[in-house]
Structure 1
Amino acid sequence: MELSPSNDSQKFSLKKFESMLKTNNVFFFDSSEFENIIHHYLEIGKVALAKKAINLGLDQHPSSINLRLFRVEILIFENDFNAAEKLLNSLFELEPNNEELFIQRANIYSKKDQHHEAIETFKEALKIADDCSEIHSLIGMEHLFLNQHEQAKTHFMKCVNLDIEDYSSLYNIIYCYEFLNQTKEAIKYLNWYLDQNPYCEVAWHQLGKQYLEEQELKKALTAFDFAIISDDTFVGAYLEKAKVLERLDRHEEAIEQYTIAMGIEGTTAFTLLKIGFCYEQIKKNDLALKFYNKSIEEDPAFDKGWMSISLFYFTKKDYLKSLFYINKAIDIDSENANYWLFYSKINERLNYLEEAERGYKRTLELGECSLETWISRGDILLKLGELEAAKYNFVQALEQHPKSEELEFRIAGICFKLNEPETGYTHLLTALHFNAEHVFILEELFPEIYTQKAVSHFIKSYNKASN
């Protein structure tokens, strides 16, 4: 138990201990005082001070099982499993029915990734435990390590049955349902839970999220309303409710919910951005831009704010301003493929072909390798007269999209232009085989090739044969 400022005796023990460390005077503490001091330091992450308290405690109380258990805990924390196991064995000889000994042994197994052994050892602890809830939770976590979500769910449910306000276990139960794609089952369980604990804002919030998964927006809205009724300071419920209202095209109501959320937790760049988006949807562009700008004033490193302003200007066909703001977003997150893709499209609209090509190349390097992106880059290279680079681009694309007539027609046209007729006919034949109706690609991109007598005859002969 963490020391409480209101507990004068515990505060006194802590001050007395720290004074002893500073002066090198030795004061006497009973073993329970040492236990509280050690627990306090472990809770706040001061392991070195906890170790000092354990050593001094064992000097004064060498037979204390609990103090020696703290030493075991430290040894496990430091991955000194052999020493921890040796000390545990000696303690088992003294107290073979001490559940904490089984728990610590199971913790050793867990840290050694021996999760099956950990589970069996925790089950031994269950047989003698006074408080089974903690042990069921630990078993549940071990099953999660093994990706055994059904078994984990069972043990977390036992925790909730023992303590209906065990919200940590409730979250873990919902996590298991989500991992198993059991949305309907999650809804059923949460409704059961709310019958037992009807004013639990956490459960209502989670129920709303599950209804969203099922696209039941009105039920989700009702659940978030009940979450707010249960706790009118629950910011997450206001935000989720606002998102649902957006999807229902009730943007003015959504703005109201976002405003309430800001009144509770303070202004955030994200909430300002969402309000701006809502205003844009109801065609209040001045207010939309005002809130978008407020979002980046609130947090200049909020890349989504810069991106949203770029999108705003793009829809208004103000491509120069759009380019300015997307550059700001890229400066903040240069590894975002979507930003580079949008950067390329803006530059393409401005006819800045070299920059557009650079953007598409970067987009592909970052893993956004859709067929559209490959084609966009290759077509720009064609416009720039970079035939070899365009061909290489399309050949690379073909490795990821091997049955694309769009790529095959383009490669065929380039090969003919590069005076590689044999390869050109091979790709043209493949393209026609995939989809002969899309021959207009060759006609539009390479009209001088399409009208060549030999190529035209080849296409007609293919169509005649295939009919």
Structure 2
Amino acid sequence: MEEEFEFGFTEDPKFSVERYEEMIRNQDQYFFDAQAFENIIDYYIEKNDPARALQVAEYAISQHPFAAVFLIKQAQLLVIANKIDDAFASLDKAAMLEASDPDIYLIRGNIYEGMERFTEALESYEKALDLAEETDEILLHIAYVYQNMGDYETAITYLKLCLKQNMENQDALYELAFCYDVLDNQEESVQFYQQYIDNEPYSYAAWYNLGNAFTKLSLFEKAIDAYDYAILIKDSFASAYFNKGNALVNLEKYAEAIEVYRHTFEYEQPNADTYCAIGECYEKLEQMDDARVFYKKSVKMDPKLADAWFGIGVTLDFEERYFEALHFYKKALDLDIANADYWFAIADAEYKLGHLTEAETAYEKVVELNPIDVDAWLDYSSILYEQSRLTGAIEIMAEAIKNNPDAAELYYRMVAYLFAKGDYNEALNYLELALAADPEKHYILFDYLPQLQENKVILDIINRYSR
């Protein structure tokens, strides 16, 4: 007959685990009280060994068949193992033993949420809400369901209830920022975080989210102040340094931004995005060697970061090394084929290399992807004009104007092309439109066709509008 040993809750949790593992090795049978079993299950969950934890739960159920806690733990572990039907069965048994345990309905809600059966998920969470003493996590789950249903207004209501229950629920703070973001309601976001900070002035997460909301409103000075408070409260907050760096970039304070970005390396491993951001600052400062060093560090760490490959190209382009620049622009484009900025850079480099056909093809792609890029339309038409393809240049301008009816530059350029072609009446019509849009920009016409400065008819029309 097997000898049975009993281990109780007075034991150290580690001791319980050792005894359990000894029992398995010896193929023996020891008795553990409920607390000891909970400790052993939690130990394996923390060790990220759900299969072993599930074995223990099953063993615990055999020894304590009327303890709902082990059926609940079994259900959680079966969900991890993707055995959904078995998990539901365990929860049903647990409910028969202890129907008032909120965890039963919380896990059920989790399963339904994962299956996108949102109505049933909400019903389960509402039951859990009625039974639980601490409700902030359940309210957070309800908010997640409403987010998944695309109802961000209701999600916000539940996130605020969650924070009312527990002001320190960081997840709720960040989710709230996300919801305001989706609704593009940064003003209300600012208002909420300012009120929240009045009650919780030492919440670094609230200051950080306030900074993000100010950033999205382009209030960069205020954003920097908010990030500074977040950093003051938690000096190892790498994300706050990074976003503060971004705000400084928006204020064109590139040298300061570099210093702030470098701070992140003290608190987290350097990453490709930060290296790329530093590279961009050096690029803006026209310190191209330093910029290239950081862009190269970035692509070494993440070869799929298109912006860093593009940045290397920009530094070479600046040094008039257009052929080399093209190579890196194309690497960026391979990773992000629909990026109009990359196509624009390629078009420009091809043009500078005298590859007019390739430049034309690339400009065509730019205006297809971004038809409101006025400069791209102007450059595209210039290539045709330089080749004396006046009809083509005029057609491009007509298309440009259709997409950008308020851009005076396009009308002035059209005037120049029509004069060059000899369509004087049409040119004068467009000149009136150009002057009506922006009389100050009439110099554009003379930049392109200086001889028109001698044309009395044109000067009379311009003077009429300039007065």
- In structure 2, distance between residues paired with 1:130 and 1:254: 47
Mapped partners of 1:249, 1:310: distance in 2: 21
1:47 aligns with 2:53: no
What's the C-alpha RMSD, in Å, of the aligned pairs? 4.1
Seen in structure 2, the aligned counterparts of structure 1 residues 59 and 351 have a Cα distance that, compared at 3 Å, is: same
**1:296 Cα deviation from its structure 2 partner:** 0.5
Sort the Cα spacing of 1:278 and 1:138 in 2 relative to 1 into closer, same or farther, 3 A.
closer
Which residue is equivalent to 2:325?
A: 322
Measure the CA separation in 1 of the matches of 2:52 and 2:367. Answer: 52
* Aligned-partner residue type, residue 26 of structure 1: Q
Structure 1 SS opposite 2:32 = coil
Identify the residue that residue 244 of structure 2 maps to in structure 1: 241
Equivalent in 265, 269, 276 of residue 268 of structure 2: 265
Shift of 1:142: 1.7
Q: Is the 8 A contact 1:272 1:292 kept in 2?
A: no
Aligned equivalent of 1:230: 233
CA contact (8 A) 1:205 1:237 kept: yes
Q: TM-score, normalised by structure 1?
A: 0.72
Equivalent residues of 2:208, 2:227 under 8 A apart: yes
Distance 1:370 1:181, change over 3 A: closer
SS in structure 2 opposite 1:290? helix
Q: Compare 322-331 and 217-226 and name the one that shifted more.
A: 322-331
Determine which of 154, 168, 181 is the counterpart of 2:184: 181
Give the partner amino acid of 1:348: Y
Cα deviation, 1:324-347, whole Å, max 9, x if unaligned, reads: 432444466667564344223311
CA distance in 1, matches of 2:139, 2:404: 58
CA-CA distance at 1:101 after TM superposition:
2.3
Q: Pick the aligned partner of 2:196 from 193, 203, 206.
A: 193
Identity of aligned residues (%): 27
Tell me, yes or no, if structure 1 residue 27 matches structure 2 residue 36: no
Pairing partner for 1:95 from 88, 94, 98: 98
Q: Give 1:151's aligned amino acid.
A: T
Partner Cα separation in structure 2 for residue 111 and residue 94 of structure 1: 26
Mapped to 1, the partners of 2:172 and 2:224 lie a distance apart of 25
Structure 1 residue 61 corresponds to structure 2 residue 84? no
Deviates more, 1:353-362 or 1:129-138: 353-362
- Alignment match, 1:216: 219
Distance apart, 1:67 and its partner CA? 0.9
Answer yes or no: is the 8 Å Cα contact 2:136–2:162 preserved in 1: yes
Is contact 2:367–2:373 with CA below 8 Å preserved after alignment? no
TM-score after normalising by structure 2: 0.72
Rounded to whole Å, the distance in 2 between the matches of 1:79 and 1:259 is: 43
1:313 aligns to what?
Answer: 316
Kindly state the Cα deviation for residue 184 of structure 1 after the two structures are TM-superposed.
1.7
Is 1:339 the equivalent of 2:342?
Answer: yes
Change (3 A) 1:197 1:89: same
Alpha-carbon distance in 2 for matches of 1:214, 1:368? 24
Q: Deviations over 1:370-424 (max 9, x none)?
A: 78879988997999999xxx9xx99xx99xx996799xxxxxxxxxxxxxxxxxx
Contact conserved, 2:347 with 2:363, CA < 8 A, in 1?
yes
Where in structure 1 are there 5+ consecutive unaligned residues?
Answer: 1-6, 407-434
Residue 121 and residue 218 in structure 1: after superposition, are their counterparts in 2 closer, same or farther (change >3 A)? same
Structure 2 portions without partners, runs of 5+: 1-9, 406-410, 431-467
Contact 1:186 1:210 in 2 (8 A): yes
Any idea what the Cα deviations from partners look like across 1:135-154, whole Å, max 9, x if unmatched?
Answer: 21222222222222222222
Q: Which moved further from structure 2: 140-149 or 83-92?
A: 83-92
- Equivalent residue letter for 1:32: Q
User: 1:148: which partner in 2?
Assistant: 151
